[in-house]
Structure 1
């Protein structure tokens, strides 16, 4: 299935000047005229932040200003609404954080479904039209997709057996991860990344399900000196634009932005090829012990994960089953 262009999308979505005026009438904070801020809840250096920096560079002479660490307190779950209301021109959101809005957003973080870059790419091909449609329903337009390195477990103490998960106060990043870890006895709780630092500092978290990529890793190794490479998932973040601003661009400008988004996404997949190794080197340099799970732990995780995938498929219905069938057939 082909990726639809921004030109085609903005030609069919209700974004005109009246939409901007409506947002202002609803009391939403409106940026200065011409301001193109690209916001994410993740810190500088993390893959989504890197994506926004690369998009800004590739989109010149259009001036896009990346903003990190949840500007205005806007985290992933609230980002589509913030962009649709015109608070930011572009937003980045971790896909799993949007799972309550549409189950398709949980797809990339389903446990042990896509655990290599090649599999994650194939899953994205199958899922992209559904991501586009779901984001359009939320009033925003997909620009590019950011891949994350493999998810593991950061913890205060080693995680070696299924017993080590029981009672573990663990942060997860989506509902599926929460269900999976609770099935194994963990006291799992879905939290945004921005909420993690405080909870680690006050001792109310023992562990974090995350890749710990880039700047995110720096926030974790201060409290969690162990990382278990469980190969849980390779999730994605989604960068999307405000249709009102996209519609205000000329056709040539929109085409240029589309090329910039395509180039950005391609470069992020290339970066992913070396990112995990670079992250692990930095982790070791900062005192993190990296371990692989034993066979009993991995088997328990995969069993719980398989049940979570089946539960997701039931919730997602025919549309979800079709995406999984296309992915598993290699189409």
Structure 2
């Protein structure tokens, strides 16, 4: 048989396979609750560009356009989307272990936050794996502070406020300081403040910029409240169906995204506080009384968290404190 004839036969044999090959490369979907300008979302866009290079095309649905925050994890589990980003601590009702980064003032800087994140990672991976989800990477929000309409001399200044919460731990914090906790998702913050549903909160300067906090608050007081983490995850079934080389490429892209995300978070701390100041918010200075109150609440909430998480929680905190 001539070379040309063999080539023609090979092409004829391969031709019927092309539609099936194309259909096997179905475009993945990803959901996140955060706007496109947010550094988390910008980091995801770079991550997805790397995935595209590896042969995985992903359509990103940002700003809760496809799924609200509370439905994204379930969406990944069921295959409604293959990829999703969640605030880990928002799922504390399912598993208290996911709340460790929401213990106020447990960590005070990025180095400690990264150490805690690395120590907690195997526990988080095991929990998600049992639910059909594979963890790809985690990145932190910039450290949180208090948003209020008057300077804060101490935590006592927040007593009686309608305090916005976004997870179990912020709800507990509000209760301990004598405030009235009210669950409000990020996208609903401007309306909640405008209508008087809430009048104070603790969150990052990044969230303040995302929601234009200058329209509804006057003072931002950085206190290193928490370094809560977002987790980017993939449906395990969809991931396991990929060739080994593609899986490895995705893992490599995820590792790069995690490193990049931590750097972007640090950079966002200064830039977003500067934006708040430029837009008219007063950047308050935390008083010694305010920080002493934070340490006191932190100690109590850490012990409560350990009591809820049992042996795993004890091991993690012991390793972190070692």
TM-score scaled by structure 1? 0.85
Separation in structure 1 between the aligned mates of residue 57 and residue 209 of structure 2, nearest angstrom:
26
In the alignment, structure 1 segments of 5+ residues that lack a partner are 1-31
User: Are residues 1:313 and 2:306 paired?
Assistant: yes
Residues 215, 305 of structure 1: CA spacing in aligned structure 2 closer, same or farther, 3 A cutoff? closer
2:146 counterpart SS class: strand
Aligned to 1:59: 51
Deviation at 1:208, TM superposition (A): 2.1
The correspondence for 1:69, drawn from 63, 81, 84, is 63
The correspondence for 1:240, drawn from 233, 248, 262, is 233
Separation in structure 2 between the aligned mates of residue 117 and residue 106 of structure 1, nearest angstrom:
17
Aligned to 1:261: 254
Larger Rg: 2
Separation in structure 1 between the aligned mates of residue 180 and residue 207 of structure 2, nearest angstrom:
27
The correspondence for 2:219, drawn from 222, 226, 251, is 226
Runs of 4+ in 1 over 6 A off after TM superposition: none
1:152 counterpart SS class: strand
The correspondence for 1:165, drawn from 158, 168, 173, is 158
Number of positions where the alignment pairs a residue of Structure 1 with one of Structure 2: 297
Q: Are 2:221 and 2:285, in contact at CA under 8 Å, matched by a contact in 1?
A: yes
Separation in structure 2 between the aligned mates of residue 125 and residue 81 of structure 1, nearest angstrom:
25
Deviation at 1:215, TM superposition (A): 7.6
1:209 counterpart SS class: strand
Aligned to 2:19: none
Separation in structure 2 between the aligned mates of residue 325 and residue 51 of structure 1, nearest angstrom:
32
Q: Are 1:150 and 1:233, in contact at CA under 8 Å, matched by a contact in 2?
A: yes
TM-score scaled by structure 2? 0.87
Deviation at 1:317, TM superposition (A): 0.3
In the alignment, structure 2 segments of 5+ residues that lack a partner are 1-23
Q: Are 2:143 and 2:225, in contact at CA under 8 Å, matched by a contact in 1?
A: yes
User: Are residues 1:118 and 2:123 paired?
Assistant: no
Q: Which runs of structure 2 are paired with 1:1-331 in the superposition (5 Å)?
A: 34-61=26-53, 62-75=56-69, 77-213=70-206, 216-329=209-322
Separation in structure 2 between the aligned mates of residue 41 and residue 219 of structure 1, nearest angstrom:
16
* RMSD, matched Cα: 1.9
Write out per-residue CA displacement over residues 262-315 of structure 1, whole angstroms, 9 at most, x where no aligned residue.
110011112233221111111111111111221122212221221111101000
Write out per-residue CA displacement over residues 26-82 of structure 1, whole angstroms, 9 at most, x where no aligned residue.
xxxxxx98131221111222233223212112222222222211123421x322111
